[in-house]
Structure 1
Amino acid sequence: MKAGHAEVRTFFLDRDGTLNAKPPEGRYITDPAELVLLPGAAGAVRELNASGRRVVLVTNQRGVARGLMTSADLTAVHARLAALLRAHGAFLDAVYVCPHEVGACDCRKPLPGLLKAAMRDFPDIDPADSVTIGDSESDVLAGRAAGTGTVLLQGPGKPPDNTSADLVATDLRTAVGLLLMSSKNGCVSKGGRV
């Protein structure tokens, strides 16, 4: 992803809008039955798993802080996510969640706390050969602050946002395909859109 690095080894993935369908603004997935994988997302994670990459979920879930769901509800939602991925032969290596309200912590994206926690837990993670992928600029900013490469996901036909992301892709499957291909052939240039 970054100049001089030929292989991305760790993929930090956002949840809503990256792996699963995003609820409407201001709403939260509070029941496991509400979680629906996006087309191609499980296959993309499976491809990362098969290629030996680490896949780490990093997600803001302030529905807990707002009292709209409990920590147990969130655990059940993530158990469903794991089961849906497993049904496609895919898995997450770790899950990091910020359940806090805005301004109440240092882990809520766009701050890099979730990524830094993963780097503490997995000392072999090198930000220089890691990438953060998500559907909002807060994901991009968190990745940039942690020193990783960044990919912003924007659905097909959506006009490009003004972003500081290294790459803009339509979906996770496209981003993963390009990053794995570039790992074989060289690095991805900043500002690309696919």
Structure 2
Amino acid sequence: MTGSTAPDFRTTLRTVFLDRDGVINRKMPEGKYVTRWEEFALLPGVPEAMARLNHAGLRVLVLSNQRGVSLGLYTTADVDAIHTQLNRVLATYGAKIDGFYFCPHDKQSCDCRKPLPGLFEQAKAQFAEISVNTSVMIGDSASDIEFARNLSMPAIFLEGDAEAQAHRKPGSEKGATLANLALATLPDAVDYLLAR
């Protein structure tokens, strides 16, 4: 946890990095993947939370491991189509995601699978002003939080509801102990971030 003498990272916040599955949409049971839009179930309050981040002038970027591509279960075009449709839906709430970055590779075959830093570097290549000092990572797995810690970026772990906890990867609870803060849902995290 952040010590009481540490500066509050919310005062300089400019970029919010989000994991996708389990943060924005309902995570599938372990070993299953969201392969098309029809399987993509937005979590309650997420569109409104995104709109609040946008209206606060914060950049919102999604960083997601999509190993199902390497397993042949869906294609990068399928992932792009899901993200395009997600932004269409968010637009009806006055919200948007500014960029999507995902790793399509299998384990230990790249530098972009979280917790490695490649997705952050891809985002920084598009938005040069991004800095770990003005960013936060919000995720629901240990790899999300380890990704942030490897970059010395603050992190918020989302515990989710009972269903989310049942679908979590083994060892994910480690993320709660590594994060600066553990909260239940993305709307709760947004409440915290905007109470600055």
Q: Could you state the TM-score of these two structures normalised by the residue count of structure 1?
A: 0.88
Aligned length: 181
Structure 2 CA distance for aligned equivalents of residues 8 and 27 of structure 1: 34
Quick check: 1:177 aligned with 2:191? yes
- What letter corresponds to residue 172 of structure 1 in structure 2? L
Structure 1 CA distance for aligned equivalents of residues 25 and 61 of structure 2: 15
- 8 Å CA contact 2:35–2:73 kept in 1: the answer is yes
Quick check: 1:72 aligned with 2:84? no
Quick check: 1:9 aligned with 2:14? yes
Higher helix share: 2
Deviations 1:75-103 (A, max 9, x none): 21112211221122110111101000000
Quick check: 1:93 aligned with 2:93? no
Structure 2 CA distance for aligned equivalents of residues 120 and 79 of structure 1: 21
- 8 Å CA contact 1:132–1:148 kept in 2: the answer is yes
Shift of residue 179, structure 1, vs aligned partner: 1.2
- What letter corresponds to residue 3 of structure 1 in structure 2? P
Structure 2, gaps ≥5 residues long: 166-171
Q: CA RMSD in A?
A: 1.7
Shift of residue 148, structure 1, vs aligned partner: 1.4
Shift of residue 8, structure 1, vs aligned partner: 1.4
SS of the equivalent of 2:136 reads strand
Structure 1 CA distance for aligned equivalents of residues 16 and 70 of structure 2: 27
Q: Could you state the TM-score of these two structures normalised by the residue count of structure 2?
A: 0.87
The correspondence for 2:136, drawn from 131, 135, 147, is: 131
Shift of residue 35, structure 1, vs aligned partner: 0.7
Structure 1, gaps ≥5 residues long: 184-194
SS of the equivalent of 1:69 reads coil
> What is the aligned-residue identity percentage?
44
